[in-house]
Amino acid sequence: MRRLPYLGLAVSLIGGPTGWAHDYWDLASTTDDGPVVVNELVHGASQQHDLETKAGPVADQDWFFVVSFGASSYEAVVDATSGDLALSTSPGLDRLDVTGTTVIQFAEKANPGPTGNGASVALRWQNTTPGTFGAAFEWLRVRSGVCGLTCGPEDQYRLRFFDTTIAVPRFNNSSGQVTMLIVQNTTSWIRPIAGTVYFWSAGQPIGMLLGSSTFNLAANAALVLNTGTVPGVAGQAGTITISHDGGYGNLAVKAVALEPSTGFSFDSPGLYKPK
């Protein structure tokens, strides 16, 4: 007798119609079907969604709100996709402006390699406008160009979002020291990783941008930068941040402050935000 409730549950799960909108964002009174702020992504977000066709029938699409702060970089990855979903670089995952009408960026393969490799896609970008007032309000959109009107509740994907900005807590080009910055591209991608190094003051006003330097690193290549040669940074001390389009964890960074008179060195590793 104790088994009967479980039997009834099994019948209810497999015996009836599935209905529409299994994705709970689609069940809300305000859905994620367009550029309306119902689902804002923050660093470390990981969400499971589906693209089940909606009543009509109408092809489903999912929208996400993101804030890109100045002098920072970001990554959105869509993976764990079902076979029918077959997301491509376009349509698939796109980044749009604040109006939701203009596509700023199409996705690339999550592991940029020979064309056609892998089913996962990603967006990686920088906001190179420094300062809080450089924040950009943008949208991410996921849609399927394959199953479209025939997508079912099994056509699911996972979306993850990361702030990929790297922080170096110390550089010092004063009092006889000079800081060398080392940046390594640890990937074997077929495209280089581009980035911008920002130098921020430790003096007054604290956090003032002193200068910046750009780089473009091929697979497994490294940059060794004498920070004292960057305009505005000689004779200064403070902190470093690095924005880039390489994704989370794909750059290895270290700053080494050398003091020639004593032979001492002071290492400061580049740090990503914890997941």
Q: What is the pTM of this model?
A: 0.88
> What would the CATH number be for the domain defined by 18-163?
2.60.120.380
pLDDT of the chain, 275 residues: tens digit per residue: 444 443 343 433 444 334 444 688 888 888 888 898 889 999 999 999 999 988 889 999 999 999 999 999 999 999 988 877 766 655 689 999 999 999 999 999 999 987 656 788 999 999 998 766 678 999 999 998 788 888 888 889 999 999 999 999 999 999 889 999 999 999 999 999 999 999 999 877 888 999 999 999 999 999 999 999 999 999 999 999 999 999 999 999 999 998 777 777 789 999 999 98
Where do we find the tokens 């490294």? 222
| Each residue's pLDDT tens digit, 9-58 | 343 344 433 444 468 888 888 888 889 888 999 999 999 999 998 888 99
Domains of the chain, by residue range, sit at: 18-163, 166-269
Task: Say yes or no: domain 166-269 is CATH 2.60.290.
Answer: yes
The sign of the dihedral angle between the CA atoms of 108, 109, 113, 115 is: negative
